[in-house]
Amino acid sequence: MKSVLFSRFFILLPWILIVIIMLDVDTRRPAPPLTPRPYFSPYAVGRGGARLPLRRGGSARGAEKRNESGPLPQPASPLPTIYAITPTYSRPVQKAELTRLANTFRQVAQLHWILVEDAAARSELVSRFLARAGLPSTHLHVPTPRRYKRPGLPRATEQRNAGLAWLRQRHQHQRAQPGVLFFADDDNTYSLELFQEMRTTRKVSVWPVGLVGGRRYERPLVENGKVVGWYTGWRADRPFAIDMAGFAVSLQVILSNPKAVFKRRGSQPGMQESDFLKQITTVEELEPKASNCTKVLVWHTRTEKVNLANEPKYHLDTVKIEV
């Protein structure tokens, strides 16, 4: 029995010694120094030794900066909306003209297109076109009375007046936002720079127009930043010897002059611009644009009359294509 106990003792002895040695080594390790828990004061020292209360989630320096910062910057004023009124009528080149115009307007920020058809009802062609144009737009229609369709009489009078009436009605019961009105005929070509120029119109702004009046261009004559006359090839005695594409009007001016419209009675061809502008401004008040009216940014190009001599009288194709 004793021999069995001794044999087991000698088997366990090495393991007992190993445990004793490990315990001895662990007790000789230096204990880590006790560090006090950091104390965060609810106050911080600012300039001149003043105690500044710390804001939650911020520092004293941040608090100082917030206290010393100036007023918050004012939000940027909204970009004035350009309202482009375009009279249009049914003809073989109508869709082509409107497509060119839409391609220009899509590149102009904050533009609203008011398209007015000379018709008793909206046409399917123009309705489909506007639906796919990707532009903020309004589609109106008003027919020109037959008695005013004779050659030599002013055109698009009713359509421009319909656009003016829509604008006034839209802003009748609300504060008008900054805006500019521009008469954009569909047979003209427009530089994008023109829209940048007209957007700053305060009352009525003017600029040159190319390929008009039997000349390469017509323009207001400017001296010391004021319009003093007109460079024109037709009826220089007009009060405002300018093309319809050569001016823009502030929306506020349109709303402040509710009776200003294009007149039928007593108005002669080429005098519509003068008859309209006389109701809202004077020559002395005009604002020259386009580098004091020395740059042409719009052209009265007019599409060439198409040759349809071989077009059959009756539709012969197996499909109907919109042109």
Active-site positions read 273
SS3 of 172-234: the string is CCCCCCCEEEEECCCCCEECHHHHHHHCCCCCEEECCEEEECCEEEEEEEEECCEEEEEECCC
- Is there a binding annotation on residue 317? no
- Is there a binding annotation on residue 173? no
- Is there a binding annotation on residue 217? no
Q: Would you state the structure tokens that stand for residue 145, as one six-digit string?
A: 């009375």
Residues 6+ apart with CB under 8 A from 155: 87, 144
**By C-alpha distance, which of 190, 186, 180 is closest to 296?**
190
- Is there a binding annotation on residue 187? yes
Cα angle 114, 142, 159 (rounded to 5 degrees) comes to: 50
- Is there a binding annotation on residue 28? no
- Is there a binding annotation on residue 301? yes
- Is there a binding annotation on residue 118? yes
- Is there a binding annotation on residue 88? yes
Instruction: List, in sequence order, every beta strand (DSSP E) within 61-146.
Output: 81-88, 111-117, 137-141
- Is there a binding annotation on residue 186? yes
Q: Where is the binding site for UDP-alpha-D-glucuronate, in residues?
A: 87-89, 118, 155, 160, 185-187, 300-302
Q: Where is the binding site for Mn(2+), in residues?
A: 187
Q: Where is the binding site, in residues?
A: 87-89, 118, 155, 160, 185-187, 300-302
